[in-house]
């Protein structure tokens, strides 16, 4: 489950995240109004049966296959048989640099790769549709 509240107003948009089936491109339907937010808060929930010492993720936002944004996050140690939550605040680009929803719709894929140190654990791809 990803919770994406608009900042600073009280709108709270909850987006049910994709299943954990690796190798399958999932779809997310996101309200267009999220593109008007000055910032969004993103929450990632993850579980692991195994201990991981250097859990990290790499995330790319692709538009028609071209990388627009890239983020790297280090979580560190993950307790075996645990469920964890990670949250981050992402500030939007200036409005003059934002593309409209009709251009982005269906053309954006968020690719997230999960690692333990340099070992690739899983990859998630989500195609975004603005509704």
Q: Please check whether residue 2 lies inside any domain of the structure.
A: no
19 pLDDT tier (thresholds 50, 70, 90): low
Q: Please check whether residue 27 lies inside any domain of the structure.
A: yes
**Can you list the pairs that 62-70 forms with residues at least 24 positions away whose Cβ atoms lie under 8 Å?**
62/108, 62/109, 62/110, 62/111, 63/99, 63/104, 63/107, 63/108, 64/107, 65/109
List, for residues 58-93, the tens digit of each pLDDT value: 999 999 999 999 999 999 999 999 998 888 888 988
The CATH number that applies at residue 66 is 2.70.50.40
Tokens 């538009």 correspond to 63
DSSP-derived letter for residue 80 is T
Q: Please check whether residue 4 lies inside any domain of the structure.
A: no
Q: Please check whether residue 95 lies inside any domain of the structure.
A: yes
Full residue range of the structural domain in which residue 56 is found: 12-130
Model's pTM, two decimal places? 0.79
Average pLDDT rounded to a whole number, residues 2-19: 43
Q: Please check whether residue 6 lies inside any domain of the structure.
A: no
**Strand pairing partners for 28?**
128
Q: How many domains does the chain have?
A: 1
């Amino acid at each position: 489950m990803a919770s994406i509240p608009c900042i600073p107003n009280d709108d709270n948009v909850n987006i049910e995240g994709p299943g954990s089936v690796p190798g399958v491109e999932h779809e997310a339907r996101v309200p267009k109004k999220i593109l008007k937010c000055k910032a969004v808060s993103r929450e990632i929930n993850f579980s692991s049966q195994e201990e991981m010492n250097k859990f990290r993720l790499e995330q790319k936002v692709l538009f028609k296959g071209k990388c627009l944004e890239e983020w790297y996050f280090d979580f560190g140690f993950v307790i075996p048989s645990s469920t964890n939550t990670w949250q981050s605040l992402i500030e939007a680009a200036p409005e003059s640099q934002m593309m409209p929803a009709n251009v982005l719709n269906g053309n954006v894929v968020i690719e997230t790769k999960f690692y333990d140190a340099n070992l690739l654990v899983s990859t998630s791809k989500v195609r975004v549709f603005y509704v």
